[in-house]
Amino acid sequence: MTQQGEYSILKLTGRLKLGYLLYACAIASLALPAFATEETRVLQARINVAAEQGGGVVRLDKGTHVIGQLQLKSNVTLELAEGSLVLASTNRSDYSLKRFRAFIGAVGATNVTVCGKGIIDGRGRALVWDIMQGMALSNQFDRVSWFKAPPVHPRPDERERPHLLSFHACTNVVVKGIEMRNGACWMNTYHYCKGVKIEGVRIIGRGFWNNDGIDLCDTSDVLVQNCFVDSADDSICLKSHSLTGINENIIIRDCTIRSSGSAIKFGTASAGVFRNIRIENIEIYDTFRSAIAIESVDGSYISDVVVSDVRARNVGNGLFVRLGSRSNTGGSIKGIQINRLHAEIADKKPDAGFEIEGPPIRAKDVLPIVISGLPDKLIEDVTLRGCTFIFPGGNPNSRAELVVPEEPAKYPEFSMFVNLPAWAVYARHIKKLDLGDTVFVSKKPDKRKKFAGNYFE
């Protein structure tokens, strides 16, 4: 590498607060092969032969396996034995980022399984370090491949970083029992799939920014259960990138979540339909943004959502519902039922001290539940039953003079309006809101109103 290239990288990582970790991981990765080994070719050949013979099980035995990109095929099971450690290549050239954008996954396959008791480690920081070196040498830092949106730390765009485990247009996908660690981007992704079961999976997604835990994108007939997700971004996220896309018949239950984004989120990409979704028996802790976030800002029609028995502690926000107009004037949110959500709101940044934290927010106040539509787009029929929200309180400012902007196209998150004139609920542009027997507790006196927004006026 030229001296100029080295200088560019060091200067860049000085801007990245995680630069020292990237460098440490790049050095540490020298202890194991960074490049894909011959085992990649052999393993892909075994997968291909199994598929050609009508299906079968390809097993990775106990031990360390350093491999490059693997594409799974129909009727094939990839089984990771207990004690197996699959390390992703940290060489960017070992990955295609065209249609197949992942370390391990499948495109257009049927009856695909990844299971076992082994570990898949994406070595995301070391891989990103290699990507950055290539970008420095080719002077790409001012091009579209370099993500520079403040206040987020500059970094290679998501299109430059492979996902860890990803399925595109697949049917009958099972991911069971394995552990996933340290992706360079999204950890576990399903685009335009039908019939997905994710069970007993452990996801530690703190390798780099945009480490979403599980992303369900225009995907239907899904069961996510008994999973543990600890992610540097949204943990379980339902997205829609197409106006004709559908997320429906989805059950998420019996999971434990920690997130430096939101724990369970609809959006931000929200173009198509979300319906018949059930979220049950979820433990959430140390989560920077919302325990539950339901967002339609790109034209999505969200309906028939039931959330039950969620326990959230040390979170930035208990519930956020937003109907906006970022890239489409259509869309609706109706028929949202929240049962027995218990949320304890933090008085400080919930993920403070984690290597990759959520970005700073402008709000100085602890914020309430936020349910906000637009004057010409009303949220309809939101019901809370048996819920409890505990706030730290103690705000000496009433914020009575605040004029809260509409911000129809702004990125949706609970802090998008900055400070608010309520400590419990801020609700506006809603056709029907039923708080029922919900209990709101402020540990200290708070000069803001308990309820504010035009729904209460």
Is residue 412 within 8 Å of 355, Cβ to Cβ? Answer: no
**For residue 100, is pLDDT > 70?**
no
Q: What is the three-class DSSP state of 265?
A: strand
| CATH of region 1-211, choose from 3.50.50.60, 2.160.20.10, 3.30.70.20, 3.40.50.1100 | 2.160.20.10
Question: By C-alpha distance, which of 97, 82, 104 is closest to 36?
Answer: 104
Is residue 441 within 8 Å of 394, Cβ to Cβ? Answer: no
- The whole model's pTM is what? 0.92
Is residue 103 within 8 Å of 127, Cβ to Cβ? Answer: no
CA 161 distance to own-chain centroid: 15
- Res. 448 pLDDT band, cuts 50 70 90: very high
Q: What is the three-class DSSP state of 6?
A: helix
CB-based burial of residue 293 (10 Å sphere; 0-12 exposed, 13-18 middle, 19+ buried)? buried
- Res. 16 pLDDT band, cuts 50 70 90: very low
Delimit the domains of the chain by residue range: 1-211, 266-457
For 13, how many CA atoms within 13 A lie in the half-sphere containing its CB? 23
Residue 231 to residue 116: CA distance in whole angstroms: 22
The pLDDT tens digits of the residues spanning 406-431 come to 999 999 999 999 999 999 999 999 99
The pLDDT tens digits of the residues spanning 140-176 come to 545 545 555 444 566 787 888 899 999 999 999 999 9
Encoded tokens for 200: 């007993």
- Res. 341 pLDDT band, cuts 50 70 90: very high
The pLDDT tens digits of the residues spanning 48-87 come to 999 999 999 999 999 999 999 999 999 999 999 999 999 9
For 360, how many CA atoms within 13 A lie in the half-sphere containing its CB? 5
Q: What is the three-class DSSP state of 377?
A: strand
The pLDDT of residue 140 is 54
Q: What is the 3-state secondary structure (H, E, C) of 177-209?
A: CCEEECCCCCCEEEECCEEEEEECCEEEECCCC
The pLDDT tens digits of the residues spanning 357-383 come to 888 888 889 999 999 999 999 999 999
Bridge partners of 380, per DSSP, are 334
Residue with tokens 């979170």: 315
The full length of the chain comes to 457
153 CB-near residues (< 8 Å, 6+ apart): 15, 16, 17, 18, 209
Mean pLDDT across the chain, nearest whole number? 89
Q: Say which DSSP state 135 is in.
A: H
Report the percentage of the chain scoring pLDDT > 70. Answer: 87
The pLDDT tens digits of the residues spanning 244-269 come to 999 999 999 999 999 999 999 999 99
**For residue 136, is pLDDT > 50?**
yes
